[in-house]
Structure 1
């Protein structure tokens, strides 16, 4: 037996209201697209549609997911929501950002996007984004890739600040997934595809099964398997070309390093269930388990000095070997110095053709939530719940070395792990109070207790060890240094291992109702106390006025708050990258590290925000809807990672050594987590939809346009330099648009999507070529579906059907700081495209899909 009643929380409304499909479907048929669907996000009323909301909200159903080409939830959201952007970071600076991709919404980082599942807060990923683009730098947000599309019944994207309603993180908006809840039926989806280039073979198999759970309940299970082969879109490294020309005995493949999508295999499982205990109460449970393993290559280590063509393709130039192939001295003299004329060791004996460290990440994700909810005869509803979520990332590096260990170095390393754990307890009450106004006034109150923990697990000893050859004083008075830890991604040492937690308590009140006919007002307030950052109070006011049956105006004003996450407080990481033509060892430190504080770091403080929006809804009838909404978001004490500090003096190295850093003698650049700038992000969202039934089939059209611009209002120059400020302001297209047309006639359906991406600017250091203006682009997707029988559907489609690529990463061509090498048509590291391209850089992708439903 299924039931429906007014609810106190989004999760409660999702299950109860959406369990009456006849009502939701009836509302939807009166409007185009999904605008008439009942929403459960941004309001605690149980009778609101997207068009009746005081804040802009997008609603997508399972049918919207069915026509997507990608198996990655990030790519799906990017195609559905124009202000949602996500890059593919697997280049020279990517580290773990290649495994957990960092999205942005309305130009704001992933940890300012609140993700809910069935209305309950989704836990963060263990990954703190160190090198996932300027906008995400330092952020720690949820990993939405863990959510398989087949598990989703409805998706709601609230494009408005909602910290006063949902708590910390809801500054850019809220993404709420409602899980499927059918008590019967089996659906199976299978897909095969590959890129036009002939690589990146992609296999996906997904299934959803609904079963009754006793006479009054259900259990709905969704599973997904995904296997994606890597892609390669880079060119040859100039050093590899020179090596192949001047040292024919060295085996060099072309390209020597693969730059593109990582090798990926993943398994994901979601379960959703509930049992009615009476006509007005139920217990519920849902959760997930996900496992994925990905791998890509770090920079090629060149074994010998090589001679090749100059950067412009003329003359000759010397391209030096990697420093890991410097000679190591093996004979120590009685006075402690090393014999410069004695025996030596060189890793060229181990890797005569050089090597690419193989970086692998294993991500494990799990969650479990459960509770009891219902409604008294008086109309008072309740929802009491508890949830636990955990994300774990484990790193390994193969085909590498620890140069400081000399001939005793292994070639495979376990570099350690990151783990995020969250436990939530929630109690929510709501009551529709009838006081003689145009509608009952819904009064909701609730409380939350949250425990967050973050752990950095140490790697094996060789992954971080500073071996006996780290710093060698020779008998000549000179010094020879070898980098400690595994080359590519040094492991986490005991100095950086942490297992820390914090607690927070919150209480809220949310009031909403129709004061007079056609006028809706809402007020929300929330108090939160964090054990490590103190207390905050935030508020929100919202209003909607129907000028006529066809036109309504709406607006909101709210404040927000986001405390630094435990991961941001304690993360440490090192990596090697190129600055100009030279490899440099980079180090990122937490703000409370002694070395970071010596270089100017101060304790982190919470971010504070002000969010304003105003717009209108136009519904003239005939299946047409139009919404236009302006937003203005100001964030103070915005957090990220400070600009790099060059390590050039003995005094600086002494600071690093006294702080206990193993690589004090070899690190080239240091940075740390910091507050330090204030931004204003403003823009406009335009959405239009139309549905028409004609004699030649049904046409469903949607157009979504986003304009978004961010301005750095003030900053600490030691935290945000000109390059960082430029990327914050300019690294995303200011205009983006998506137009979708679906035509259905009998058993045949066709969906076409067109995307427009405005030009943008990618900033880089002068030695890396300076800023690059990237031109605007138009891409398109197409899918044709045919329902062969009542149970089977065949689909053929292509993503980026015209095989479009972004502009190449050519900076300052012909100038002394040019980053482009004409002989290889690539940068010094082999890159040809920038990581932050809004539609990727892999070109066209075709696929065939077979779906079965029983």
Structure 2
């Protein structure tokens, strides 16, 4: 628990929600009363057009534009985290591309098991395969939710249920459907500025939305500009402290950990125009562009010795530790006429040398740069026939390209010829979809028509890895050297290969692979009797790279009274291997396990000759079986309680194997099989179906809306209990015991959000109390087993007060994490001199509340 009194925090939150109800006031105007009683019609999880949230046979949350507007952050992932307790995200500072494309999780499952829709159409994936992400998300490839600004949304629906039989691949954890605004008039302008209590992390966000008439239709456009500065919560490093004592001017701290520097702009269009009284043409799409930068670890110019580390609290301090130069000495003068037995030159230990400190005398911290470009467009024709069949024919295309650069670094193996800025290459994901959907209400004698929905889909997915500058990946002439001393003895010297920090994508990494898929589904739903709803869905999918799969779902709801109902469903599901997982091929060179010679580690495709040589098999879909059951209590449209239990078993989950060491005999065998770079390979890994999990939990959502005569009050309490278990490791090389434990331990079992908004027309107050349970980290593995640290539960409180001026202008001020709460600090592997780990970190990236601390902001809005 934290130093702040929990009683005070809870009292403040309850006061915001309860005090106004104690005031006896006259009834509000009839229009306000009707708005409070009105329930939202859902379009996710059902293909009927008359289902409300409480009438649904599956748990669906619906959040309106007003709900989004009361959130302290316009970032969609942060909004979802505040609204949906089973939705989480981690910071992943300094974790390669995962620093820029943050992987979300839903109900304890990774991002590529969440299906994201925009206006009911599938959103394409990010180009990033989360190889360097957290344990739960590592290896996944999901959509980038940050590409969608909240100002463009009229509503968000979150289906907390498996729905692969209805929507296809990826819908194991659930479905998030983003509904775009469709107003045909008006102009909305918004500005937000804030920074952390520490004075860093400055955040400027500008957004706008405008609607126009397009004949009898509409044209709606939204835009957003973001300029975020990095915040830093790292401490000094033990080696940099020692370097300063030697007179080296090392930055303080030398490596920063926090959100990246981020400048981005995004545009979203949504439009439709009637063709006749019953049909229309529609189009929507988005364009996004972001430049981001993050620090990598500081590199030392000279060797130092530092006091020893304390491995665990109360443990002994280790002996002083030597930290060598981050980049070794390069020997430039080959001895004329002298060669090794292999014909390589022999260099003189007494001749000229090159040191990285000649370029970076104070050491260096590589800066990793990302340019992320995202574009997506959907065009379609929909309507209703003369005999009552609704139809929707659409075509969609999307592309995400991530371009990497590295500055303030070098390729040590190139010696003094190395540049200090590198273009590393690019990743690209392209998708094209064609869909036809139709539904027809057929009278068959039940209490409601039998809604028959069916559809067809064709999808093509392409994944591309583009080559970087040669200097970014080249194995230079100084990668490995035989050096002779004056006395005739010799030693080996090595230099890291590629841009130091992140080697570029070389010829062996270039990939361009595609696959096609064909799908068909049928979805039936009806009220057998007035109190009993039954739904049955089935789907067939065929993928060109692994074959066919069939999935089904049965859902039911029974209402005992208008106020009490039970619901449940059982379904099978699947997630097809992503193009990135199927086609990623990369070679990076390093010195693993203390090796004295460069070792090329190749990530190969599962169907490659090299992969099959080491036991790879074609990737197959991850498969799931899930069931859920719950109760809905709704005494009025203003008070609703839902409680749902879920159990999801996923088999054949995909992971990256641990590296296989390649022996000389295996190199020869691979060469005989036609592998061109066989003799360069030192290690090999690949994606494989490697383990199984079971995730179970409970979602509870209580909502209440009330009129108070002079305003309205909306209160919600949402809680989630979630527990994941690795039930089987079918390929021990694919997932270590440590990763399995972190999958189980690094997602909080309990999360809850209590939120209240009081709206009195001209002003409003919003309060939000967030609770996250404890997490357990198994980040270090010693000979005696994994070392463990449990990080305690966390409470944070958000508060915003706003007012409307002259009916057009809005002014609000607020604070996220009002009481400046931080997660528990890391206690393992701490250097007493700095109070931090060797990297300078003091917080765990998996903390559900992050580690920015308190953040204040002001925002202005205008409507015309």
- Confirm or deny a common fold (TM above 0.5): yes
In structure 2, distance between residues paired with 1:319 and 1:820: 16
1:801 equivalenced with 2:818 (yes/no): yes
Paired position in structure 2 for 1:550: 563
Instruction: Indicate conservation of the 8 Å contact 1:95/1:575, yes or no.
Output: no
In structure 1, distance between residues paired with 2:594 and 2:810: 53
**Residues 661/613 of structure 1: CA separation in 2 closer, same or farther (3 Å cut):** farther
Look up the SS of the partner of 2:151 in the other structure: helix
Query: CA offsets, 1:663-720, max 9 Å, x none?
Result: 969x8x8643221111111110000011122256422110100011111111132222
Kindly state the Cα deviation for residue 643 of structure 1 after the two structures are TM-superposed. 4.0
Kindly state the Cα deviation for residue 331 of structure 1 after the two structures are TM-superposed. 1.8
Kindly state the Cα deviation for residue 770 of structure 1 after the two structures are TM-superposed. 2.2
Once superposed, what is the RMSD of the aligned Cα atoms? 2.6
1:722 equivalenced with 2:730 (yes/no): no
Instruction: Indicate conservation of the 8 Å contact 2:646/2:696, yes or no.
Output: yes
Paired position in structure 1 for 2:10: none
1:98 equivalenced with 2:99 (yes/no): yes
Paired position in structure 1 for 2:219: 219
Kindly state the Cα deviation for residue 733 of structure 1 after the two structures are TM-superposed. 0.4
Look up the SS of the partner of 1:278 in the other structure: coil
In structure 1, distance between residues paired with 2:289 and 2:499: 25
Instruction: Indicate conservation of the 8 Å contact 1:217/1:274, yes or no.
Output: yes
Kindly state the Cα deviation for residue 308 of structure 1 after the two structures are TM-superposed. 3.5
Q: 1:530 aligns with which of 543, 568, 581?
A: 543
Instruction: Indicate conservation of the 8 Å contact 1:452/1:566, yes or no.
Output: yes
Task: Write the mapping of 1:329-348 to structure 2, written as runs, cut at 5 A.
Answer: 329-334=332-337, 335=339, 336-341=344-349, 342-348=351-357
In structure 2, distance between residues paired with 1:161 and 1:586: 41
Paired position in structure 1 for 2:13: none
1:734 equivalenced with 2:749 (yes/no): yes
Q: 1:508 aligns with which of 517, 521, 524?
A: 521
Look up the SS of the partner of 1:47 in the other structure: coil
Q: 1:764 aligns with which of 766, 779, 796?
A: 779
Query: CA offsets, 1:227-264, max 9 Å, x none?
Result: 0011110111111111112x11x111210111111000
Query: CA offsets, 1:79-131, max 9 Å, x none?
Result: 1110010011113xx10001111010000010000000000000000010012
Paired position in structure 2 for 1:387: 396
Q: 2:804 aligns with which of 780, 787, 792?
A: 787
In structure 1, distance between residues paired with 2:180 and 2:373: 21
Q: 2:719 aligns with which of 702, 705, 720?
A: 705
Kindly state the Cα deviation for residue 28 of structure 1 after the two structures are TM-superposed. 5.7
Instruction: Indicate conservation of the 8 Å contact 1:38/1:47, yes or no.
Output: yes
Instruction: Indicate conservation of the 8 Å contact 1:591/1:604, yes or no.
Output: no
Task: Write the mapping of 1:383-782 to structure 2, written as runs, cut at 5 A.
Answer: 383-475=392-484, 476-572=489-585, 589-592=603-606, 599-621=614-636, 623-643=638-658, 671-695=685-709, 697-715=711-729, 716-767=731-782, 770-782=787-799
Q: Which runs of 5+ in 2 are unaligned?
A: 1-30, 311-315
**Residues 233/651 of structure 1: CA separation in 2 closer, same or farther (3 Å cut):** farther
Paired position in structure 1 for 2:848: 838
Q: Show structure 1 runs of 4+ deviating over 6 A.
A: 24-27, 313-316, 574-586, 648-663
In structure 2, distance between residues paired with 1:832 and 1:653: 43
In structure 2, distance between residues paired with 1:582 and 1:339: 20
Look up the SS of the partner of 2:146 in the other structure: helix
In structure 1, distance between residues paired with 2:664 and 2:511: 29
**Residues 680/315 of structure 1: CA separation in 2 closer, same or farther (3 Å cut):** closer
**Residues 28/560 of structure 1: CA separation in 2 closer, same or farther (3 Å cut):** farther
Kindly state the Cα deviation for residue 591 of structure 1 after the two structures are TM-superposed. 4.2
Task: Write the mapping of 1:354-365 to structure 2, written as runs, cut at 5 A.
Answer: 354-365=363-374
Kindly state the Cα deviation for residue 585 of structure 1 after the two structures are TM-superposed. 9.0
**Residues 103/670 of structure 1: CA separation in 2 closer, same or farther (3 Å cut):** farther
Structure 1 stretch displaced more, 761-770 or 376-385: 761-770
After TM superposition, the score normalised by the length of structure 2 is 0.90
**Residues 654/269 of structure 1: CA separation in 2 closer, same or farther (3 Å cut):** farther
Paired position in structure 1 for 2:243: 243
Task: Write the mapping of 1:296-311 to structure 2, written as runs, cut at 5 A.
Answer: 296-311=294-309
In structure 2, distance between residues paired with 1:586 and 1:556: 49
Look up the SS of the partner of 1:184 in the other structure: coil
The count of residues paired between Structure 1 and Structure 2 equals: 812
**Residues 26/380 of structure 1: CA separation in 2 closer, same or farther (3 Å cut):** farther
**Residues 594/810 of structure 1: CA separation in 2 closer, same or farther (3 Å cut):** farther
Instruction: Indicate conservation of the 8 Å contact 1:488/1:575, yes or no.
Output: no
In structure 2, distance between residues paired with 1:622 and 1:422: 41
Look up the SS of the partner of 2:346 in the other structure: coil
**Residues 470/662 of structure 1: CA separation in 2 closer, same or farther (3 Å cut):** farther
Instruction: Indicate conservation of the 8 Å contact 2:656/2:686, yes or no.
Output: yes
In structure 1, distance between residues paired with 2:506 and 2:432: 28
In structure 1, distance between residues paired with 2:129 and 2:435: 26
Kindly state the Cα deviation for residue 656 of structure 1 after the two structures are TM-superposed. 10
In structure 2, distance between residues paired with 1:802 and 1:620: 37
Task: Write the mapping of 1:162-241 to structure 2, written as runs, cut at 5 A.
Answer: 162-214=163-215, 216-241=216-241
In structure 2, distance between residues paired with 1:626 and 1:233: 40
**Residues 579/63 of structure 1: CA separation in 2 closer, same or farther (3 Å cut):** farther
Kindly state the Cα deviation for residue 661 of structure 1 after the two structures are TM-superposed. 6.8
